[in-house]
Structure formats: structure tokens, C-alpha cells
Amino acid sequence: MSDLNNLFQFLEESRDGMVDLQRKLNCIPALSPENGGSGELKKAEALLVWLKEQGFTEIEVIKAPDTRVESGVRPNIVVTIPGQEKEKRIWIMSHLDIVPPGELNLWESDPYSIVEKDGRIYGRGVEDNQQGLTASVFTALAFLKKGIKPKNTLKLLFVADEETASKYGIVYLLKKQGFFQKGDWFLVPDGGRKDGTMLEVAEKSVLWVNFHTIGKQCHASTPEQGINAFVAASDLVTRLFGLKNIYPQKDPLFDPPVSTFTPTRKESNVPNINTIPGDDVFSMDMRILPSLSVDEVLGKIDELCREVEKGYGVTINREIVQRVESEPTKADAPLVKAMREVVKSVYGVEAQPVGIGGGTVGAYLRNEGYDTVVWAKIDETAHMPNEYCILENCIGDAKVIAALSLKY
């Protein structure tokens, strides 16, 4: 039996182990402080115990200081499987943190207790990003247990803080001199399509902005004595939503092919009905095509804010929560070609390089000159109620990682 068939056989026999690992991790809510949690440390500790039990020995933990969490640190884990050659290293990067479950009444089960049904496992984080984490871990375990070496060194990287700007995850690691090396390849199993045909090689610029509108509070029966911040903010929301008409440019590499300007979070203002709010806060999520200047868009946003200030007598402050601009990985890069080959060999489909609007940790890597592909075969249930992972996808994705690591 060939080495690749040996690896595949191990992975096909690991179904129960994959469910067990997902169950161990799912019950530990790894939420960032921004999302009301205490970080990833407890989940990381559970993963470290499991890794050591399985026989992994080359493990490194890099702790990013964060005074907002009780432990004071946000953990990043590296697992190394030495390769036959030393020319390059292949990194498989997934993330430890998750998002909150949202409205619990929309869930059909406890989001922090795995339910296995009809070939799927349900729970918060099982697809985003524990499918990728589990697939990469069991690929490495297959090499370890079968005594097979990958062609080049295989590095598994489990980062913190992916869901909230990556300051304590990949951004922190990229600042460590010599941690990554020129020529390293990065596969991020954290995005894709149901048929596995999407190789994400480019991302729109991500711009998250909070808008704080300040007016004058008063009794609702005498609105003329105040300045209604909610009304002014509502006008601003409408104007900002209209940015899609101001910037209608299209790029067929991306899906959707246009920039998006989406109002999202609305904070509570006054607690009672009969008070005119003097303060109002809302947020916008903007995904801007790389061909557009983010500075130009911000200039237009400021222009719209000034117009609303003048029209209503309010003051508007904006706060940039996240701004990420990314260089693309070339569609004909060696990593892209390799991924197209191994995806076809495992799934029998022709994967194509595309650009997306969703931000991933890949953007930070590309900006530092590293070829990076974001890929997985997923049903795209991330951040939804009743999030699920298809077990056959977890096994199949592990096979893709194994084929990539063995040949390249």
C-alpha cells in the first residue's frame, strides 16, 4: 500500500476520534473579551492535553499578553511534523476562538454540547473553525502514527483572536523576527463552498466603523427642546448605505463582485419610550474592492457625516474598529496550482482561484509576501444558529492536507 493510501486509510478510520475531539473543544466557549469571554486559554489547554496524549512532542505555545483576560495571555500553538526535505514549510492555520451563539431560541440544541445527527455534528464553532483544526490535527496524527514523513516540514498553527481583528494571533506572530520564513506556504482551512471548488486568493479591504451621534436629550412631548440623535443617525445610515451607488465598480474575481456597505449593530439608546435620545451609536461593516482606495471611501464618509451634522445640529464621531487591506496571492502561484491538483485528486472537482468579501487571517500573511490560500469544503454555516460540520468533509479535507503535505 502506498504512503498516501496508508494516510487515507487512517483518516477514514478516524471518524469517531474526530467527533470526540470536536466534543472536547466545543464545550469550552473560547470567546474574546470583545464578545464577553475570557479568551482561548482553557480551550488551548484542552487541545494541548489531547495532542500530548496522542504522542505529539514538537509543540510550542506562544503567549500574546492581554491584560483584559484573567490569565493575562492569549495562546497560539504550533505543532511541527519534520519533513524529508528542508526547502520550505507548509503551514496549516486554523483558529481557536469562536463567535457567540447569538439568539439561543433559534438553536435546536445546546450550542456548547455536540449533537451528532445524519452525518453532521452541530454546535457553535464546529465548522468555524474546528473543522479545519480537526482536519489538520488528524492529518498530522496520520503521519505520526503511520511513521510517514511529509515531503517538507508540516506546521500546524492554531491562532487566537481571529474573530476580532487578530491582534493577539497572527498579527502578533508576524512581528516575531524569524518566526516565519521566506518561501513558506500557508493553507487556511477557514472558508469555501459546498462543493470545495473555491480557492480564496484575494480579499476585499475590510473596514468596520462605529458612528456616535450626539444630540440633546429631552422629553418626547417637547421634541423641539432637544436634538434627536436617533433621527440624525437614521439619516446617516441611509446615506452610508447609499455608498453602494457611489462606488458601483465590479471585479469578477470576487463574489459578490461589488463593494458592500452594510449597517449592522445598533446600540440601545434611551430605556424608555417618552425620552428623545441625545446619543445614538450604530456600526457599519464595509468590504471594499482592492481597486478602491479606503482613504477615499473614508473621505466620502466624513463628507456625509458633515452634511448630517449641518442638517440636524448634531455632532458625529466615527471610530475605526478594524481596517485591513490585502495584497492578493497570484492565481498561478505554485501553491494555488498544487491545491488545484490535490483538491481534484480527492474530491474530483476543479477548484478555481477567487476573491471574497469576508476577512480572514490570510490577508495579514499576503501583506507580508506569503503565498496563502483559504480553502475548505464547507456548507457555510459559520456564525449561524445550528452551525454544523459534515463529518465526511472533515475527513476529505484532511485527505487534501495529507496529499498536499506528502507531495509538496
Query: Residue 316 and residue 298: Cα distance in Å, rounded?
Result: 14
First to last CA, the chain: 20
Q: What amino acid is encoded at 234 in this protein?
A: S
Query: Cis bond leading into 386, ω under 30°?
Result: no
Specify whether 162 is catalytic: yes
Considering the candidates 128, 162, 190, 387, report the single residue annotated as catalytic: 162
3-state helix, strand, coil in the chain (%, to 5): 35, 25, 40
Q: Residue 3 catalytic? A: no
Grid coordinates in use for 24? 472536547
Q: How far apart are CA 298 and CA 57, in angstroms?
A: 49
The DSSP bridge pattern shows strands 152-159 and 85-95 to be: parallel
Give the residue carrying C-alpha cell 482536519: 135
Helix (H, G, I), strand (E, B) or coil at 314: coil
Distance of CA 330 to the CA centre of its chain: 21
**CA nearest neighbour of 13 among 116, 209, 146, 122:** 146
3-state secondary structure of 118: coil
CA 17 centroid distance within chain: 25
Q: Looking at the DSSP assignment, which residues form a beta bridge with residue 284?
A: 209, 263
User: Active site residue: 97, 128, 184, 285, which one?
Assistant: 97
Q: Determine whether 365 is exposed, middle or buried from the number of CB atoms within 10 Å of its CB (0-12, 13-18, 19+).
A: buried
R_g of the chain computed on alpha carbons: 23
The helix/strand/coil state of 359 is coil
The set of cell numbers assigned to 64 is: 500574546
Closest alpha carbon to 121 in 405, 357, 386: 386
DSSP 34: G
Query: Annotated catalytic sites, by residue?
Result: 97, 162
